Amino acid sequence: MKIASWNINGIKARMDTVLRWLQEEQPDLACFQEIKSIDEAFPREPIEALGYHLETHGQKGFNGVALLSKTPFEEVIRRLPGDEADEQARYIEGVVATDNGPVRLGGLYLPNGNPVDTPKFPYKLAWMQRLNAHAAQTLQQEEAFILAGDYNVIPDPQDAAKPETWVGDALYRPESRQAFRALNHLGFTEAIRATQDAVKTYTFWDYQAGAWQRNNGIRIDHLLLSPEAADRLQGTGIDKHVRDWEKPSDHVPVWLELN
């Protein structure tokens, strides 16, 4: 089965692109980030018409996440546990049944954290602590669990075309990278790194300054697999060609195949 993650940067502006990609790639299970829509305004019907079950967790204006599946969700969790006061819609988790047992997908939109001298950076780090706690707890269930999304973390220097320009940025600060390593060390396998020779392999190119044309990208969309999921990993892909379509998102889809 094919499982994908994509920061679409606004569902209303991206509907044609999203439908084209769904028809082309036919993921069995997918998570979207930055839907930028309240649940009531999300254009469900065209996606459902392609045979997808849809679960959204949105808010007004920005953020917002969604799950899509060709088979019904048996369970859905909205919000990242650990802070009832957190109003930002950045996490949704769902379980689907497969021939090889249940598959649990957590779709996340990790806070950007810039500027670092504002409350946004401590919010990012606190959110990562909550994510790691939730991930540790979920791993105890020993299921095929995929934690996927826009992590807003550049893990290593080779994950940026120009790492020197990211020094001091929240996406590359030592604290952000350390928290991402700690998450991995709970027992996850980072699927792209595990299967690809990640040289100049990016998932995000800024709209500004011709970043796409210059391949000035960063790799910040990640697919983390529990041991039970990693044992079933067949391969991964980055749908880089989508960045050349009309009205692209600044992120491209990343996906993996499980047997």
Distant-in-sequence, close-in-space partners of 155: CB < 8 Å, separation ≥ 6: 177, 180, 181, 190, 193, 219, 222
Minimal distance, residue 63 CB to DNA, in Å:
7
Sheet of 233-238: strands edge to edge?
A: 53-57, 65-69, 29-33, 2-7, 254-258, 233-238
Q: How far apart are CA 113 and CA 172, in angstroms?
A: 10
**Minimum distance from CB of 241 to DNA (Å)?**
17
Place of tokens 């210059």: 214
Cis peptide before 43 (omega within 30 of 0): no
Q: Which is nearer to DNA, 214 or 241 (CB)?
A: 214
Which residues are known to be catalytic?
Answer: 109, 150
Q: Minimum CB separation from DNA for residue 232, in Å?
A: 32
What radius of gyration, in Å, describes the C-alpha atoms of the chain? 17
Contacting positions for DNA (CB under 7 A): 9-14, 36-38, 41, 60-63, 111-112, 114, 120, 152, 206-211, 213-214, 247
- 92, 77 contact by CB (below 8 A): yes
In whole angstroms, what is the distance from residue 23 CA to residue 61 CA? 27
Kindly state the smallest distance separating residue 211's Cβ from DNA, in Å: 7
Question: Of 3 and 220, which CB lies nearer to DNA in the complex structure?
Answer: 220
Nearest CB to DNA, comparing residues 75 and 207: 207
Q: Which of 242, 236, 239, 227 lies closest to 258, judged by CA?
A: 236
The answer to whether 81 and 130 are in contact (CB under 8 A) is yes
Contact 84, 210 (CB under 8 A): no
Nearer CB in complex with DNA: 16/142: 16
Q: Least distance to DNA from the beta carbon of 103, Å?
A: 28
Other Cβ atoms closer than 10 A to 23: 9
Q: How far is the CB of 107 from DNA (least distance, A)?
A: 16
Task: Name the pairing type of β-strands 103-109 and 144-150.
Answer: parallel
